[in-house]
Structure 1
Amino acid sequence: MDADARDAGPGLFPPTRWTLIRSARASPEARRAALESLLGTYWRPLYVYMRRQGLDTEAARDAVQELLLRLLEHGFLERLDPEKGRLRGYLLTAARNHLSHRHERESAARRGGGVAALPLDFELAERIASQDARGPDEAFEREWASSVMERALERLRAEYEGGERKGPFALVLQFFRPGEPPSYRDAARAHGMSLPQLKTFLHRARVRYRELVREEVADTVDAPEEAEAELAELLRVLKR
């Protein structure tokens, strides 16, 4: 069974970004849409990587946008092969190669290049980069892992706010965000719950959050069975 069939089957993961990338090769419009989705999701680890390589804020912004533009315009999709690597690895290699030839690329940009038309929140990315003292590769992996967890949490938020799941998402955030959570007793009292009700509510939220994290991870590998290894790697990175 090929990967697309696995992705489409009932009870399995939704179409992964590898599936999106394969289907996007049908037309230039589809390729650009797929890459904009891909790069719009994963640009922030690239910025953190550039900053940890020693580039100042302006140079890192330029480098990231130049890299995204090159990936959008120079056949990046055609070089991707899910059997030979993961998206995380492909993008990190692309960042390394970009920096190693940065002088030539800066010259090309001055001769008429542009910047990628993507909404990039550099202020947030800079706060993250300035707080991370890790080496470039470790900082990239840490931000990649954090982005995966963040996207899963936003999907969980959407489920609560959309009515798919019952209860206050603000209460979920109190226990899922970094920092010291309130005591179970105080939280239950504040939200009009008994302790058993609170514990059941949080257990269900955690179970669903783990499912969403695993789906996000599976979205960056070729086959569902690879998700466990990638998830274990990202959790290891977060614990460093």
Structure 2
Amino acid sequence: MSIFPVNDGFPETSLTLVGRLRSTDDSLREEAIRLVARRYWLPLYEFSRRTGLNEHASADAVQDFFQHILTNAEGFATYDGQQGRLRTWIITIFRRRVSSSLARQHTQSRGGGIEHVPLDFVLAESTYLEHADQDQDDPERAFDRSFARQLWQQVLDTLRCSYSYRQRLQVYETLQPLILSEIKNQPLSSLELTQKAGLSSVTDFKVSLHRLRKEAAHEFQRLVQQTVEGDEWQEEVRYLLRLVS
């Protein structure tokens, strides 16, 4: 059984998320805004940089997009779930808005926020430069890869909190780098990793790693299912996980 609750307050499907963005309940709407911004603003910034916009223009475009799409009730009116992936719909709308030059006409102060969601464009540029050698000629794939990294980071944050709550943070911090990699590729042996994690035996180490990987896979699947309608989520999980690893 998974350690994660069935519903931790986050939307379970893309339509649920969009419904909360349209909600008149401020608490539901703010929760949805934080989630959308967290998942999509960095990928959109990296996409902008790879399509030729400079650092400042990319920051303006992203800021403008979120101010428009999240602060207007009709911003998500055209999304009905039939388009499939929410991220595909978002990148399409973003491209149209940038192409129409609205981003340049209605720029916001850089480094501001979207209803209390901070947008750190210094961090965004640093992240872009860190991954600039990937997908150089394919901005859309770079967007997907950045989106996958955002989802994976959310998985790691959730796992860290869970293990900390269970007083197994030492185990998590030791095993986390192994979730997507082989033990044989690590500088430490299984016995050394066992000792570092504070576990009693190599068998305990292997069982703990198996459980962590299973928990991570379950949580990643859960998050991906929030972004896709219908039966496409399994293919989406495989695709995004390849981009993370």
Q: TM-score, normalised by structure 1?
A: 0.80
* Structure 1 residues 54 and 18: CA distance shift in structure 2, 3 A: same
Of residues 126, 134, 146, the one that matches 2:149 is 146
- Determine the C-alpha separation between the residues in 2 that align with 1:25 and 1:15: 16
When structure 1 is superposed on structure 2, of 93-102 and 15-24 the one drifting more is 15-24
- Determine the C-alpha separation between the residues in 2 that align with 1:93 and 1:202: 39
Tell me, what secondary structure is at the counterpart of 1:81? coil
- Determine the C-alpha separation between the residues in 1 that align with 2:225 and 2:79: 17
Q: CA deviation at 1:127?
A: 2.1
Task: Write the deviation string for residues 115-166 of structure 1: whole angstroms up to 9, x where unpaired.
Answer: 7442123233222211323231121011011111111111111110112868
For the pair 1:136 / 2:143, whether they are aligned, the reply is no
Alignment of 1:10-159 (within 5 A): 15-27=12-24, 29=26, 32-33=29-30, 34-74=32-72, 75-102=74-101, 104-109=102-107, 116-117=114-115, 118-130=117-129, 131-133=131-133, 134=135, 135-159=138-162
When structure 1 is superposed on structure 2, of 16-25 and 60-69 the one drifting more is 16-25
| Over 4 Å off, 4+ runs | 164-167, 177-180
Tell me, what secondary structure is at the counterpart of 2:77? helix
One-letter amino acid matched to 1:126: E
Of residues 151, 161, 164, the one that matches 1:161 is 164
- Determine the C-alpha separation between the residues in 2 that align with 1:78 and 1:60: 25
Corresponding pairs, count? 224
Conserved 8 A contact 1:25-1:31: no
User: Gapped runs of 5+ residues in structure 2?
Assistant: 1-5
1:214 is matched with which residue?
221
One-letter amino acid matched to 1:203: H
- Determine the C-alpha separation between the residues in 1 that align with 2:237 and 2:143: 16
Task: Write the deviation string for residues 186-220 of structure 1: whole angstroms up to 9, x where unpaired.
Answer: 11133343111110111111111110110111111
- Larger helix percent: 1
Conserved 8 A contact 2:152-2:244: no
One-letter amino acid matched to 1:89: T
Conserved 8 A contact 2:38-2:150: no
- Determine the C-alpha separation between the residues in 1 that align with 2:169 and 2:126: 34
* Structure 1 residues 195 and 105: CA distance shift in structure 2, 3 A: closer
Conserved 8 A contact 2:155-2:219: yes
Task: Write the deviation string for residues 59-110 of structure 1: whole angstroms up to 9, x where unpaired.
Answer: 21111101111112342221111122211101111221122112x4422448
- Determine the C-alpha separation between the residues in 1 that align with 2:163 and 2:105: 49
When structure 1 is superposed on structure 2, of 198-207 and 173-182 the one drifting more is 173-182
Conserved 8 A contact 1:68-1:116: yes
Tell me, what secondary structure is at the counterpart of 1:19? helix
